[in-house]
Amino acid sequence: MAHAPVTTSMHRVTVKVAGSLISASAIRYEPDSYQTLLLEARKKFGSALCMCHGTALQLVIRERNSKLFLACWPDQAQSHALDCPFFSAARDGGVAGYQEGAITDNGLSTTLLLHHPLVQHKPSRDLSVGHAKAPRASGPSRLHIWGLLHHLWESGGLNRWNPGWHRDWGLVRSMLRRVAQGTLVDESPLLESLYIPPVWVPKRKDDISSHWADFKRPLLRKNRASDVVASGFVIGIVRKLEPTEYGFAIRLQHHSALFYMDKATADRLASYSRRGWSAIRMMPSNGKPGDGAVVVVAMRIQASASNKLVIVEGALMRVSHKYIPVASSYEERMAELLIDTDRRFIKPLHYDQHSMDLVHFVLTDCAPVEGGQTSPCKVALFVYGAAIDPMHQVRLETSDRELALRMGCRFWMWNAAANPNIPALPLAFRQVDQSHLLTPNS
């Protein structure tokens, strides 16, 4: 399902290899074209340099199957610029919890094992529109749609924030596509089977339409009336949920096509994406961007015999206006406050493991409670909604304090039932005189 990209913001990043400046994206994803230059760099300099920051970062020249390629210097992946193809986010505050092999990173690419192959032979489902059978239950050995979405979001650094960062849909799309380009599914780059609507610009209408047509073509050719059925992934911002004769249809921002689902699929989506489903059900009928909550949808889709695009599997992820994942309006308020006050933080993600105990946010720029430390420390932030039963809230707090302790973090909480306003945050390292440190909420 190959198609040319519509937009990219990654060409600004260059790599210095044996004295030559090369596009970082080109050499990262097409190293075969630069073997002579990489060999010269390894002999003369031993490494290459990434120029994504003012200060160059070293890159390792590695070899696999007699082919040279570039990789991040140990422990420096998250030091690269967010739009650099060598950036990779450490998974602070939680792990995916999958068995070995579900997510495999060999330094050159990441391979994902999905529960559903993108091309299915003799599908064990009724091929009429609106009657797809439920997928197998989620397990730790392979990824469902939540795992795929969270992998892309976390690997792209979109679940974290640093002071001075800016983020809009164009940048989010670029980051997701960058990760997908280096991610293999069914032995092919995920980018070949993924569509993310670009920001709509009228003068680029023909280019955008051509890109969408290229993505749809193999789905229409191998539709659900065929012996071989092709799937693709679509990620976008929900604009509107519309009722239909058989269930519902989802309309996206920056995109005109509708994506259909029957009632059974909608029930599963509502069950596994309860907060996102509630948010899109309450979206204003005009569907105007900026009204109400922001919800990202990830869909695995197929084409019906009548060329309708049918949702087979989906996840709805509520996000802040800067695309930080949140689970409630309270978490959204917290995320917006952290961004507005220029704090450095991470939002841990659960992947397919919905019952996993996770910190709600991890502040990574906090001042220590005792003098003598010369670097920031971490504080685990927990947000308890106003509707939580008081007795349950006490049990949660006890458990969460233990979780923070296991993570090596201090504990901080906001109990919205007791206080509708967010309490004072732990002080940032930059905000205090290290000889007069204050004790935060603990």
**Exposed / middle / buried, residue 245 (Cβ in 10 Å: 0-12, 13-18, 19+):** exposed
What confidence score (pLDDT) does residue 82 get? Answer: 65
CA–CA gap between residue 141 and residue 106 (Å, rounded): 18
Q: Which two tokens stand for residue 315?
A: 């996840």
CA distance 122 to 131: 16
CA dihedral sign of residues 402, 404, 408, 410 = negative
Model pLDDT, residue 240: 94
- pLDDT < 50 regions, the chain: 1-10, 92-95, 123, 125-139, 434-440, 442
Query: What pLDDT was estimated at residue 433?
Result: 56
Q: Where does 194-244 show beta strands of DSSP type E?
A: 194-195, 228-230, 232-243
Alpha-carbon distance of 135 to 118, in angstroms, equals 14
**What residue spans define the domains of the chain?**
14-79, 103-319, 359-431
In this prediction, residue 290 carries a pLDDT of 54
What's the pLDDT at 291? 58
Residue 87 to residue 71: CA distance in whole angstroms:
10
- Do residues 186 and 117 lie in contact, with contact meaning Cβ atoms separated by under 8 Å? yes
Query: What does the pLDDT read at residue 131?
Result: 43
Identify whether the C-beta of residue 344 lies closer than 8 Å to the C-beta of residue 397.
no
The pTM for the full model equals: 0.81
Which among 437, 389, 436, 434 has a CA at the least distance from the CA of 415? 389
- The DSSP letter of residue 71 is E
CA dist 247 → 115, 199, 264, 268, 309 (Å): 25, 28, 8, 12, 14
pLDDT the model gives residue 109: 84
